[in-house]
Amino acid sequence: MNPRNLFAFTGLFLIFLAVILRTTAPLFFTVFLFSVLFLSYILRPKVEIEPAITQDRTEWFQNEKIKMKLKIKNKGAGSVLGISISALDIFKVSVDPSVIALKPGETRNLDVTVRARIPARLKVLNLKVSASDPLGFYRFEKNYELGVNLRILPILEDVRKAKLVPAQTRGIVGNVVSRVRGSGLEFHSLREYQSGDTMKVINWKASARYSRLIARQFNVERSGDVVLCVDLRKGSYLMEEREKIQTRMISAAFSLATKIVTNRDRVGAIVIADTVRYIMPGYGKKQIYRILELLMHQRGGDDAPVENLEFILPRLFRTNALFVVFTPLMDEELPRVLIETAGRGFKIVCISPDPLDYIQKGEKRETVIVRGVLGLRRKSLIASISRYMEIVNWKSDISLTAVLRGVKAYRERVSL
C-alpha cells in the first residue's frame, strides 16, 4: 500500500476510534498524521527538465557499444531525479548515473550506452524521469521521447568465393556466361571468317594452318535476377534462439545481396514479418541501401499471413528469377506456400539454418525429448519439400560461402 494512503487510512481510523470511545486522545495522533501529509504535499516535487541527446555517428555494427551524451537541464525546483531509458526489446540501454541531484537551473551530462542484438534502426529513445518528496508520499513521473538516428548494420560475411548463378539470363550485359555467341570473354570455338568481323577476333595461327582466315567465337556474358526472401516471423522460431538465427539470416541476406550486385546481376528482396514487404529487382548501390533499410525495418505486432506471399510472387515477380529463401523451417505454413510457388515454375533454393544448433543442450529428459521431437518434425518438412526445390541445411559452424558451394548451378537459358 502507498505510504500516503496508509497515513490517510490510519487518520480516519483514529477519528472513528475517538468517536466510538468518546475520547480526544486519538485526535492528537490524527492531527499529527494529517500535518505530515500536508507538509509532504507542500514539499512535493515540481520537476520540469529539458533533455537533449547527442551522438557521434549514425551507423554502428550489431553488438557494438553505442555511446551517447544525454544533457538534462532542470527548469523547475531542485530535487533528486531517477533517470531510466528504454527502447525496443532488441536494444539494451543503460544510463550512468541513474540517480542525480539537480539544483534549479543546473545542467548535468549523463552517459548513455546502447547495444543492439540484431540489425535494426532506432529512431526514438523513451526517457523516464521520476522524483519524490523526502518522505516518499508523493511521486512524480514524466516520459519524454528523444529523437535519435541509429542504424545497426549487419556484419558482412566474406562471400567473394561463393558462386550463385541466376536461373535464367537476360539480354543485358553481366557476368553470367550465356549460350549466345558474340563479343564476350570466354572462348567457345573457331569458325571461318565472316564479312564484318573485326581484326582482333582473327586467330592468325589457325589461319596460317588452314590457309584461310579463321575467327574466334566467344560466349556473351549476360545478367540475371535473384530475389532474396527472409523469414522473420515470430511464430517460426523458438524464443530461445530467435534473435541469433534472425541475426545470421539478415547478415547472410545482406552479404549475398552485395555479392549479387557486384556480379552485375539484379537483386530484389522479400521480408516476411508483421507484413510482407518487398523490393523489386534492381542494380547498383542504391538497391543495396534499399534492401538494408528493408532488413532493418522495425517489426512489431502479430505475424502476417504467409498466404500474402503466394499472392505477391506470381503477380509481381517473374518466373525466370532465382528465389533464395532463408527460413528455419519450423512450421508447415511457409513450406506449403513454397511448394505451390515452385509448382508455378519458380526456381527456389531454400537455405535453412538449423535451429537445434542454437538451443542449449541439456541432460534433462524433457530437453532431450523436445530436441528429438523438433528434429524429427523438421526432417519431415525438409523431406516433403525437397522434391520441389533445393534445400541446404545450414549448420551453425559452417560459413555462408561453404553453404553456397553446395547449391547447384541451374542451367542458364537466354531470354532476349
- The whole-angstrom separation of Cα 401 and Cα 163 is 8
Q: Are 316 and 366 in contact (CB under 8 A)?
A: no
Count of CB atoms situated within 10 Å of the CB of 145: 11
3-state secondary structure 21-87: HCCCHHHHHHHHHHHHHHHHHHCCCCCCEEEEEEECCCEEECCCCEEEEEEEEECCCCEEEEEEEEC
Q: Please name which of 260, 259, 311 lies closest in space to residue 281, comparing C-alpha atoms.
A: 260
pLDDT value at residue 222:
64
- The whole-angstrom separation of Cα 99 and Cα 114 is 18
Count of CB atoms situated within 10 Å of the CB of 166: 26
Alpha helices in 323-406 (DSSP H): 333-342, 365-385, 400-405
Q: Per residue in 194-248, pLDDT tens? A: 887 778 778 888 888 888 888 887 666 666 788 999 998 877 666 557 788 888 8
Q: Which helix (H) or strand (E) holds 119?
A: none
Only one residue has cell 500500500, namely 1
User: In terms of pTM, does the model score above 0.75?
Assistant: no
Span 153-181, average pLDDT:
65
Cell of 186: 570466354
As beta bridge partners, residue 51 has 72
Q: Per residue in 257-282, pLDDT tens? A: 998 888 888 889 999 888 889 999 98
- The whole-angstrom separation of Cα 192 and Cα 210 is 10
In the chain, % of residues over pLDDT 90: 5
From 128-142, 171-185, 209-223, the region with the lowest mean pLDDT: 171-185
Cell of 319: 518466373
Fold of 49-153: Immunoglobulin-like (2.60.40)
Q: Which residues contact 360 (CB under 8 A, 6 or more apart)?
A: 240
- The whole-angstrom separation of Cα 323 and Cα 226 is 6
- The whole-angstrom separation of Cα 282 and Cα 397 is 32
pLDDT value at residue 410:
44
Q: Where are the domains of the chain?
A: 3-39, 49-153, 223-415
pLDDT value at residue 186:
62
Q: How confident is the model at residue 33 (pLDDT cuts 50, 70, 90)?
A: confident
Displacement of CA 386 from its chain's centroid (Å): 27
26 preceded by a cis bond (ω within 30 of 0): no
State the Cα angle at 216 between 211 and 217, rounded to 5°: 140
Displacement of CA 317 from its chain's centroid (Å): 23
Q: At the fourth CATH level, which superfamily is domain 223-415?
A: von Willebrand factor, type A domain (3.40.50.410)
Alpha helices in 127-216 (DSSP H): 204-210
Tell me if residue 149 falls in helix, strand or coil.
strand
pLDDT at 175 over 60: no
- The whole-angstrom separation of Cα 140 and Cα 48 is 11
Span 148-174, average pLDDT:
72
Tell me if residue 258 falls in helix, strand or coil.
helix
- The whole-angstrom separation of Cα 398 and Cα 252 is 12
Q: Per residue in 363-414, pLDDT tens? A: 677 777 877 888 888 888 888 888 888 888 888 888 888 888 766 654 333 3
Q: Are 146 and 68 in contact (CB under 8 A)?
A: no
From 25-34, 253-262, 336-345, 374-383, the region with the lowest mean pLDDT: 25-34
- The whole-angstrom separation of Cα 399 and Cα 394 is 8
pLDDT value at residue 221:
62
Give the β-pairing of 390-394 and 347-353: parallel
pLDDT at 182 over 60: no
pLDDT value at residue 300:
64
Q: Which residues contact 295 (CB under 8 A, 6 or more apart)?
A: 119, 154, 230, 250, 253, 254, 269, 271
Q: Per residue in 351-369, pLDDT tens? A: 988 888 877 776 677 777 8
Looking at per-residue pLDDT, the higher value among 39 and 272 belongs to 272
Looking at per-residue pLDDT, the higher value among 391 and 178 belongs to 391
Read off φ and ψ for residue 142, nearest 5 degrees: -150, 140
Q: Rounded mean pLDDT of the chain?
A: 80
